[in-house]
């Protein structure tokens, strides 16, 4: 039988893996949305994500629960802050994906676990094991190498790292009180005025693409709500079940896939220094994997011990 005490952690790992794999493959989806620009893409992501959440809430009878949460100011405004952070993250990520900078986006998500881990240690007082500290230290060295290789401040990478790292921390503050679907609904609702503003800006400057680039483009833009909502729901479900430190470690899955997309599908240029930096990060990932396997074995032995 499965020990009930370990079920949340196991399901949290599965939810987290699903979220990060989907996020890792997202650049391919955004590339398919051409000729739609990054601002219009993000605006429709917000609108159609809210539509997806409304349908889901209707199917599961979740409107009453949503109303209860919306009457609690602390939760409502915490999720407003989370909405701002995820908007910054979305906009930066879509810009990177549509401008041929997927590799730098992957760098951001390699830095992201460092931000998340230190938030867990310094703010939530979660503890790291020695091998984890070594892996994090190696990751810091790799980030420095990659920064020098780019020859400039990698603002895309840093924005992605800090916006999503802090987003995870903010979500953790209400994770035990807010279910994944209600949380995403409220975050999306807060961002609707931002989406409307973006669409007005796009319409006034270059023209809205939706409805002008064929049926396939329309379908893909509408499905952007599902593509956006599903990994966020998985992430929120994972955040409720896992310590913040483990969320940070899982986040290496997404940048590995993003890196592969940038190098092998987009054929982005990789200088020798960048290869060295990414190789060092992969060494850190191996160390983290070894540590997690060792911890898992110790946990299983403790459960079976009489």
| pLDDT one-digit tens code per residue, 87-112 | 999 999 999 999 999 998 988 887 77
pLDDT of residue 127: 76
The model carries a pTM of 0.82
Asked if the structure places residue 293 within a domain, the reply is no
Q: Which of 14-18, 44-48, 115-119 has the lowest mean pLDDT?
A: 115-119
Q: 114 in helix, strand or coil?
A: helix
Q: What's the pLDDT band for 193 if we cut at 50, 70, 90? A: very high
pLDDT of residue 248: 62
Please give the residue that has the higher pLDDT: either 291 or 86. 86
Report whether pLDDT(300) > 80: no
Asked if the structure places residue 148 within a domain, the reply is no
pLDDT of residue 149: 81
Domain hosting 99: range is 4-122+153-265
Report whether pLDDT(264) > 70: yes
Domains held by the chain: number: 1
pLDDT of residue 4: 43
Q: What's the pLDDT band for 79 if we cut at 50, 70, 90? A: very high
Q: Count CB-CB contacts under 10 A for residue 219.
A: 10
Model pLDDT for residues 204-250, shown as the tens digit of each residue: 998 899 988 899 999 999 998 888 888 877 877 787 787 755 776 77
Asked if the structure places residue 18 within a domain, the reply is yes
Report whether pLDDT(306) > 80: no
Structure token pair of residue 129: 């094991």
Q: Which of 111-120, 176-185, 274-283 has the lowest mean pLDDT?
A: 111-120
163 neighbors 91 (Cβ within 8 angstroms): no
Asked if the structure places residue 63 within a domain, the reply is yes
- The average pLDDT across 53-58 equals 93
Of 215, 230, 259, 301, the closest CA to residue 101 belongs to 259
Asked if the structure places residue 135 within a domain, the reply is no
29 neighbors 259 (Cβ within 8 angstroms): no
Q: Which residues contact 110 (CB under 8 A, 6 or more apart)?
A: 139, 142, 143, 252, 255, 278, 281
Model pLDDT for residues 126-143, shown as the tens digit of each residue: 777 787 788 778 878 887
Model pLDDT for residues 8-28, shown as the tens digit of each residue: 577 888 888 898 899 899 999
The C-alpha atoms of residue 109 and residue 165 are separated, in whole angstroms, by: 9
Burial class of 28 by CB neighbour count within 10 A (0 to 12, 13 to 18, 19+): middle
Model pLDDT for residues 33-43, shown as the tens digit of each residue: 989 999 999 99
Asked if the structure places residue 274 within a domain, the reply is no
Asked if the structure places residue 237 within a domain, the reply is yes
Model pLDDT for residues 66-75, shown as the tens digit of each residue: 999 999 999 9
The C-alpha atoms of residue 46 and residue 192 are separated, in whole angstroms, by: 6
Please give the residue that has the higher pLDDT: either 179 or 5. 179
Q: What's the pLDDT band for 3 if we cut at 50, 70, 90? A: very low
The C-alpha atoms of residue 20 and residue 270 are separated, in whole angstroms, by: 23
Asked if the structure places residue 260 within a domain, the reply is yes
- The average pLDDT across 275-297 equals 78
């Amino acid at each position: 039988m499965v020990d009930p005490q370990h079920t949340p952690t196991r399901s949290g790992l599965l939810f987290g893996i699903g979220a990060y794999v989907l996020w890792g493959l997202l650049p391919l989806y955004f590339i398919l949305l051409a000729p739609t620009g990054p601002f219009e893409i993000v605006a429709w992501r917000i609108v159609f994500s809210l539509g997806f959440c409304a349908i889901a809430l209707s199917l599961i009878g979740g409107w009453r629960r949503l109303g209860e949460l919306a009457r609690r100011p602390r939760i409502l405004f915490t999720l407003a802050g989370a909405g701002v952070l995820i908007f910054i993250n979305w906009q930066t990520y879509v810009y990177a994906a549509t401008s041929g900078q997927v590799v730098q986006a992957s760098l951001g998500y390699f830095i992201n676990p460092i931000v998340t881990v230190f938030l867990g240690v310094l703010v939530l007082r979660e503890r790291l094991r020695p091998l984890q500290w070594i892996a994090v230290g190696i990751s810091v060295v790799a980030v420095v190498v990659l920064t020098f290789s780019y020859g400039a401040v990698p603002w895309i990478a840093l924005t992605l790292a800090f916006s999503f790292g802090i987003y995870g921390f903010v979500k953790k503050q209400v994770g035990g009180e807010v279910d994944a679907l209600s949380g995403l609904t409220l975050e999306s609702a807060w961002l609707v005025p931002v989406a409307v503003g973006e669409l007005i800006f796009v319409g006034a400057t270059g023209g809205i693409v939706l409805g002008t680039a064929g049926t396939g483009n329309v379908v893909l833009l509408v499905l952007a709500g599902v593509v956006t909502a599903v990994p966020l729901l998985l992430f929120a479900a994972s955040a409720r079940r896992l310590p913040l430190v483990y969320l940070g470690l899982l986040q290496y899955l997404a940048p590995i896939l993003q890196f592969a997309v940038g190098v092998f599908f987009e054929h982005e240029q990789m200088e020798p220094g960048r290869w060295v930096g990414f190789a060092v990060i992969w060494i850190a990932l191996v160390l983290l994997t070894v540590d997690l396997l060792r911890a898992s074995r110790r946990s299983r032995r403790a459960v079976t011990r009489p």
